[in-house]
């Protein structure tokens, strides 16, 4: 079993089953165990709300995505336990992004992301799984 931290940028693509989401899913090892910090749900929910309000998703697609999110068997880490290590990255990363990186560091895991700014951060101490901008 290989731990992989999934950030919100990848998570929203996965649960909405976009073309990028399907391509991201192929990057996951067959025996991946998905981890995320608890703030993941807030971040994904915010994107789903924006996509719903801007008619990027139909109401049915939004409902399906919310059901997928609720049913996804993620292992969830409390942000409080990541706070100190996330804070070390404050000069290069947003605090939210730093929690994903800190969790990956704690687990010795890779980070699945579709956030190119995050993935291209100089001196990132973890390996990222990501797509090119136009896969």
Beta bridge partners of 129: 112
pLDDT on residue 88: 95
- Find the helix or strand (DSSP H, E) in which 35 lies: strand 32-37
Q: Identify the pLDDT of residue 135.
A: 55
Which pTM does this prediction carry? 0.94
Closest CA to 100 of 2, 6, 1, 13: 6
All structural domains of the chain: 2-129 (3.40.50.1010)
Confidence of residue 49 (pLDDT cuts 50, 70, 90): very high
CA 75 to chain centre: 12
Give tens-digit pLDDT for 56-108: 999 999 999 999 999 999 999 999 999 999 999 999 999 999 999 999 999 99
Under a CB-based contact definition with an 8 Å cutoff, are residues 126 and 109 in contact? yes
């Amino acid at each position: 079993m290989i731990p992989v931290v999934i950030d919100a940028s990848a998570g929203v693509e996965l649960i909405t089953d976009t073309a990028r989401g399907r391509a991201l899913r192929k990057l996951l090892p067959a025996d991946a165990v998905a981890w995320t910090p608890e703030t993941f749900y807030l971040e994904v929910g915010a994107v789903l709300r924006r996509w719903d309000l801007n008619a990027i998703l139909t109401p049915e697609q939004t409902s399906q995505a919310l059901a997928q999110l609720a049913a996804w068997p993620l292992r969830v880490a409390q942000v409080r336990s990541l706070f100190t290590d996330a804070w070390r990255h404050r000069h290069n990363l947003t605090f939210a992004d730093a929690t994903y990186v800190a969790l990956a560091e704690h687990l010795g895991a890779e980070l699945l992301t579709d956030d190119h700014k995050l993935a291209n951060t100089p001196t990132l101490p973890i390996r990222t799984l990501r797509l090119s901008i136009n896969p």
